[in-house]
Amino acid sequence: MELIIDNLSKTYANGVQALQNISLEIPTGMFGLLGPNGAGKSTLMRTIATLQEADKGSIKLGEIDVLKQKNELRQVLGYLPQQFGLYPKISAEFLLNHFAVLKGISHKGERNDLVKALLHKTNLYEVRKQNLKGFSGGMKQRFGIAQALLSNPKLLIVDEPTAGLDPVERNRFYNVLSELGEKTVVILSTHIVDDVKELCTNMAIINKGQVCLKGNPKKILEDMKGKVYKKTIHKQELNSYKQNYQVISERLFLGKPTIHILSDVNPGDGFTLINAELEDVYFSEIFNKTNAKSH
């Protein structure tokens, strides 16, 4: 199964070009969609999930024409949006069972077996009788995955799923998604680079409605080998370095800025060559796109 997006565009009534000729081929497995807030990720996810129309282009999941066969797509779609509401005074087991009824799983025995299996898969079985108001953020996200899996989807979309989760909850969520990616097309839309680094075998970076980069994370990092340098500087020097070098990121270390720059040759000047991280790739692409727009 493969999801093919071809030349997809969307402009809102206020003139914002949310998507500009997006083309992606997404195979079975975990696919990371990286980009800053406002990059167009959520617009793309909602369009794939048939929640809004595109201006032009096409999306196909196997033999399904997504933009024309919305009902067919919804039958094989699991979707966990960035924000979703839950009934606080209902138990996880009861609400998941209710959602299963809405999905058309009418046989009680089959439904009970499915609900039980999904609660185990998402590590919620021990708290299945607990009201949802007592769930942590990570537990709510795992419940969201459980409801998204009720229809045994061929395509699963998760939009910013780990934002706000603590490291333990994030790791639990990683484990659930990794298992799902073995048989399903899973699109993970996020602005958290570690999510993609930990989970995805393919990825794309989107910014200002356009695809900046796509490919295998390991291969992308190999292509950047020998091009990233770092240096710790004084705060008052930062603007000068930004004028003279392609500064792709800056962070504080012991109160002083440490900058990473992108350079095809050794810049000297006290810079040290370092192994590129996926975060360096991300910031370099966002930097290039932003600069291209400003010139």
Tens-binned pLDDT, residue by residue, of the chain (295 aa): 899 999 999 999 999 999 999 999 999 999 999 988 888 998 999 999 999 999 999 999 999 999 999 999 998 998 888 767 778 889 999 999 998 898 888 889 999 999 999 999 888 999 999 998 888 888 888 888 888 888 889 999 988 777 777 888 788 878 888 888 888 999 998 888 888 887 898 999 999 999 999 999 989 989 889 999 999 998 888 899 989 999 998 888 777 889 999 999 999 989 999 999 888 998 888 866 555 444 3
The vertex-226 CA angle with 196 and 209, nearest 5°, equals: 40
The vertex-37 CA angle with 188 and 157, nearest 5°, equals: 20
- Give the CA distances from residue 292 to residues 78, 97, 130, 137, 220, in Å, rounded to whole numbers and listed in that order: 36, 51, 52, 38, 21
Q: Which CATH superfamily is domain 2-215 in?
A: P-loop containing nucleotide triphosphate hydrolases (3.40.50.300)
For the whole model, what pTM was predicted?
Answer: 0.83
CATH code 3.40.50.300 region(s) in the chain: 2-215
